[in-house]
Amino acid sequence: MAGTVARATRGRVALLTLDNPPVNALGAALRDDLAAALDAAIEDAAVGAIVIAAAGRTFPAGADIREFDAEARGIALPDLCDRIEAAPKPVIAALHGTALGGGLELALAAHVRIALASARLGFPEVKLGLLPGAGGTQRTPRLIGAEQALRLMISGQRIGAAEALAMGLIDGVVEEGLTEAAIALAADLAAEGKPPVPTRARRTGFRDPVLYARIIAAAREAPRNARLPAPDRIVDCVEAALLLPFDAGLTFERTAFADLLTSPAAKGLRHAFLAERLLRHTPEAGLAPRPVAQVGVVGGGPVGAGLLAALLGAGLRATLIEADRDALIAGLERIATLHEAEVAAGRLTPEARDADWERLAGSVDPARLAGAEAILDPGEAPQASLALADALAASLTPGAVLALGDPASPLWAAAASLGRAGDAIGLAVTEPSHVAPLVDLCPAPATAAETTATVAALLHRVGKTVLRSANGTFVLESLRAAGRRALRRAAEAGAAPEALEAALRDFGFALGARPFGALPATAVSDTSPSGERIAEGCLLALIAAGARLVAAGVALRPSDVDVAATLGLGFPRWRGGPMHMADERGLLQVRNALLALAAEDADLWSPAAIFDHLIKYGERFRDLDGGKSA
Ligand code: HSC
Task: Compute CA distances 517 → 427, 435, 501, 520, 569, whole Å.
Answer: 19, 18, 12, 9, 10
Q: Kindly provide the residue ranges of all beta strands, DSSP E only, lying in 401-552, ordered along the sequence.
A: 401-404, 424-429, 438-443, 465-468
458-481: average pLDDT: 95
Confidence of residue 513 (pLDDT cuts 50, 70, 90): low
Residues tagged active-site: 105, 125
Average per-residue pLDDT for the chain: 95
Distance between CA atoms of 516 and 77, rounded to whole angstroms?
44
Would you state the torsion angle of the CA atoms of residues 529, 530, 535, 538, taken in this order, to the nearest 10 degrees? -10
Residue nearest to atom 13 of ligand 1 (CA): 64
Candidates 56, 54, 52; CA nearest to 22 is 56
Select the more confidently predicted residue: 69 or 108. Answer: 108
| pLDDT over 70 at 390, yes or no | yes
In the chain, domain spans? 5-262, 294-468, 476-624
| pLDDT over 70 at 331, yes or no | yes
Distance between CA atoms of 147 and 300, rounded to whole angstroms?
46
Q: Which CATH class is domain 476-624?
A: mainly alpha
In short, whether 61's Cβ falls inside 6 Å of ligand 1 is yes
d(CA 280, ligand 1 centre) in Å: 15
Render pLDDT for 166-209 as a digit per residue (tens, 0 to 9). Answer: 999 999 999 999 999 999 999 999 999 999 999 999 999 999 99
In short, whether 132's Cβ falls inside 6 Å of ligand 1 is yes
Q: 5-262: what fold?
A: 2-enoyl-CoA Hydratase; Chain A, domain 1 (3.90.226)
Say what the pLDDT of residue 64 is: 96
Lay out the sheet containing 91-95: strands in order across: 5-10, 13-18, 49-54, 91-95, 112-116, 172-174
341-345: average pLDDT: 95
281-285: average pLDDT: 93
In short, whether 134's Cβ falls inside 6 Å of ligand 1 is yes
pTM of the model: 0.93
In short, whether 98's Cβ falls inside 6 Å of ligand 1 is yes
Q: Give the per-residue SS3 of 412-442.
A: HHHHHHCCCHHHEEEEEECCCCCCCCEEEEE
d(CA 223, ligand 1 centre) in Å: 28
Candidates 522, 481, 533, 474; CA nearest to 498 is 522
Q: Strand pairing of 172-174 and 159-160?
A: unpaired
Residue 574 neighbours by CB under 8 Å, 6+ apart = 129, 227, 228, 264, 265, 268, 269, 272, 508
d(CA 121, ligand 1 centre) in Å: 13
Say what the pLDDT of residue 1 is: 56
In short, whether 129's Cβ falls inside 6 Å of ligand 1 is no
Q: 294-468: what fold?
A: Rossmann fold (3.40.50)
Say what the pLDDT of residue 417 is: 97
Q: Kindly provide the residue ranges of all beta strands, DSSP E only, lying in 422-542, ordered along the sequence.
A: 424-429, 438-443, 465-468
Render pLDDT for 579-604 as a digit per residue (tens, 0 to 9). Answer: 999 999 999 999 999 999 999 999 99
Confidence of residue 630 (pLDDT cuts 50, 70, 90): very low
In short, whether 22's Cβ falls inside 6 Å of ligand 1 is yes
154-174: average pLDDT: 98
Task: Compute CA distances 604 → 155, 430, 505, whole Å.
Answer: 39, 23, 22
Pick from 18, 20, 23 the residue to mutate for probing ligand 1's pocket: most ligand atoms within 8 Å of its CB: 23
**622 near 559, Cβ under 8 Å?**
yes
